[in-house]
Structure 1
Amino acid sequence: MAKVGLEMKLLTSEVDAEAEKWDEYAENDIVKRAKAMSSMAYNMYLFTRGDGPLKTTHDLFTQAEFFAEQANQMYRTVREFSYEVPGSAEKSDLSAILERIPLHCQQLQVMVKSPTVGKTATFGKVDSVIQETKNLMNEIAKLVTASFVCATKVSKCALAQCMVSLVPQ
């Protein structure tokens, strides 16, 4: 579990670094949600070390459920944005990543809601929840990167359209 927790910590750093690259989009829903999700995942990592604001397994499972909800909202936001992106390899990459998000969210939600009895079962559930959160965070990191690659493409297309409209006929 410690290894998975450390991997999740690295992913949160990756998402934070990617979000920081896009300061001009600081008020963007995707950036805000990515930063919030990164913070939640980091708190879950801290839980694996016995630190941070999450003190009980109930706290961890509640955080994981909220994390999955945030990922679902991110999915909807990026899906709406993807309709604005012109057909391209970048859009295909974005769509491929998007397709994986709901499955991870559903898996995490099912894990969180599954009942457990005893320390061994609870430990197994904690391990599974941390692992699935890490998997979802990995997809979110890819999604943030792909979203902003596409945002750059949309901006260039919009600029090109604007320039074409300014050229005298």
Structure 2
Amino acid sequence: MTESTIRLKVNGRIHGIDAAPDTALLYVLRNDLELNGPKYGCGLGECGSCTVLIDGVAARSCVIPIEGCVGRDIVTLEGLGSREHPDPVQQAFIREQAAQCGYCLNGMIMTTRALLNRNPHPTESELLEALRYNLCRCGAHVEIMRAAMRAAGRVAEALD
């Protein structure tokens, strides 16, 4: 496909992107906009490392062409909060020290935020179900689950 200028709203700002319409959103985010939150993992939309929010819903940016994102609100990890004012989900992950290598962290945080967008008070089983689609092999599962529980306002359960 030939390149054209495509306008995307990412983290509240409009960007003119010169790329083929079938270019994966992940490549535009990382290469053109220099956003490092979403990571390249499997390239198949299965591992969750590339997760972003599109109109508040978790989406795997490695398999979404940018032409499908025109007119939509895209939020990356960098757009959730700032160092001074992190999103409550980011703050919960910091508080629980829910990371080891950090590679899966983007997917875990963005998936938790998407779940809380549609269900502010999920059960533990709903949190587990949402997070199980983000592959993590580092051994930080306990801390990640505690952080998700904390972000969901289930602090007492997170501390058990």
TM interval, short-chain normalised? under 0.3
More helix per residue: 1
Which protein, 1 or 2, shows the higher relative CO under an 8 Å CA cutoff with sep ≥ 6? 1
TM-score, normalised on structure 2? 0.28
- Higher strand proportion: 2
